[in-house]
Structure 1
């Protein structure tokens, strides 16, 4: 693997992963992953399905435990219960209450984040507008399409204005126009100092990230800016670079 020349250090680090290894049923899903992500950075994890992306972010957020290695988020060792207030998490599978309306889901999760009264209502309106769900808030979530559920999950992750967002393939099933709008908002959030970690297997989304971690077969095969990865791989696109680097490293998909 070649590493970024712009690795963060000290107080600039939002998430630090050192020597992470995780296995399931005797099969290594992640092997010796070391990675630092800067505060205010839009960092992408790019890789095919089954490459270890989701497992890695579950370890970062304390949802899962590593077999070896350490994770620190905003300077704190993970997992820690108090850190649940510090980040927003959007899972690959929507964790919603289908018997509740969209607004009731937002109110429930907002209360869990400690929001209440006028502040909660303002945040519900703001995030609903962002994901274009304002006209559907009073509908039962069971009646939502798959794309609408993804949008509601993203709204919930943004609700408490966290310092750090961890989004697992957030734009799957979302139409291209809204996807573009969401990416514009994510870029604006990083300019406000919010750290965003996003997983994707969509190449044009990967190129919008400040830096990328290319993951394949449970191994990081490159970490750098999209442009640097393309250049160092002698490729024309991120897709070509990803294929070439995987081949050079002898890594299975």
Structure 2
């Protein structure tokens, strides 16, 4: 367990405490009766398919949107009546890079510092550049930066005014693995310092780096807790099967999908994850194939990805 995980679990101070959040657009419930509590210093991950209400939920939690129903607090302020006060203490990083590409890193940060009317503006900019290791590129135009450096600049602009809550909307989309890892190291360091982070992501490895996660599907909160807790709550059991023939594995996937007791079949290269919520029925389904030469079977622990594939399969899209 990381130091930041221990910090999040030891504190009892709730940064977010809301009940019954509901929001509709054009007659469709995008968020439907969501309850949530997030502790100070936690990194809280939001997962779910596109259009599941992740971004809307995050915006409702921190007062950026007004719910149709529900109530609660964020940073000790009422989300219905004190949203302007919440916004002053929130940093929000959108998925799309939204700073000025024809300004340098330093110029962009100076512009943000002016917006927040920060005291000792130049010192604040210098300190932020130092903190996010941007000094060597401080005079480089933002438009010439790689995706990873743009991401770092965007994060710098979000934390310069020292917010208490950081919102990250799929922050690492399109960023290479090294930059993603470095970004998450920065996020954990910020959380160690007491910053609370809400992050939406499609990456399972990023979800596992969150202290807690929740799964949203078309407005409904289906699961929440640590990654291990969410896996355990699913009741899912998994067999993995590896084969030397890619064609045989593909045929096997099609055959198993039609068998009773098999809820999902997910290919990972030449390995299949075969999962179901009824262990006995699943065992009967795979038994006829376990003696087949060229196939290696193993009873395995389900992964977070297995669980989310199952949830997506079982949840109807309310926009269809």
> Normalising by the residue count of structure 2, what TM-score does the alignment of the two structures yield?
0.68
Residue matched to 1:179: 180
Aligned: 1:252 with 2:317: yes
Contact 1:20 1:69 in 2 (8 A): yes
Gaps in structure 1 of 5+ consecutive residues: 1-7
User: How do 1:11-160 and structure 2 match up within 5 A?
Assistant: 12-78=13-79, 79-113=82-116, 114-129=118-133, 133-160=134-161
Residues 1:237 and 2:241 aligned together: no
Classify 1:234/1:159 alpha carbon distance in 2 versus 1 (closer, same or farther; 3 Å).
same
2: CA distance between counterparts of 1:13 and 1:243?
31
Q: Is the 8 A contact 1:127 1:159 kept in 2?
A: no
**RMSD, aligned α-carbons:** 2.4
Contact 2:19 2:35 in 1 (8 A): yes
Are the structure 2 counterparts of residues 204 and 115 from structure 1 closer, same or farther at C-alpha, using a change threshold of 3 Å?
A: farther
Please report how far the alpha carbon of residue 118 of structure 1 lies from its aligned counterpart in structure 2 after TM superposition. Answer: 4.9
Partners of 2:129 and 2:138 within 8 A in 1: no
Runs of at least 4 residues off by over 6 Å: none
Query: Structure 1 251/212 Cα, relative in aligned 2: closer, same or farther at 3 Å?
Result: farther
Higher relative contact order (CA 8 A, sep 6+): 1
| 1:71 positional shift | 4.1
What are the superposed Cα offsets for residues 138-160 of structure 1, whole Å, 9 maximum, x if unpaired? 23334445544333211211222
Whether the 8 Å CA contact 1:226–1:238 is kept in 2: the answer is: yes
- Unmatched segments (≥5 aa) in structure 2: 1-8, 237-301
Identify if the C-alpha distance between structure 1 residues 71 and 134 changes in structure 2 by more than 3 Å, giving closer, same or farther: farther
Q: Hey, what does 1:4 align to over in structure 2?
A: none
- Whether the aligned pair in 1 keeps the contact of 2:110 and 2:121 (CA below 8 Å) is no
Whether contact under 8 Å (2:55, 2:200) holds in the other structure is yes
TM-score, normalising length from structure 1? 0.85
Count of aligned residue pairs for this structure pair: 241
Residue range with higher mean Cα deviation, 185-194 or 44-53: 185-194
User: Which residue in 2 is equivalent to 1:5?
Assistant: none
Structure 1 residues 60 and 219 mapped into 2: Cα distance closer, same or farther (>3 Å)?
Answer: same
Secondary structure class of the residue paired with 1:149: helix
Where 1:96 maps in the other structure, the secondary structure is coil
Greater gyration radius: 2
Q: Which residue of 2 aligns with 1:223?
A: 224
CA deviation map 1:89-142 (0-9, x unaligned)? 11223332334222111111123332424531332322441xxx4443323334
Partners of 1:146 and 1:187 lie apart in 2 by 20
Q: Kindly state the Cα deviation for residue 42 of structure 1 after the two structures are TM-superposed.
A: 1.0
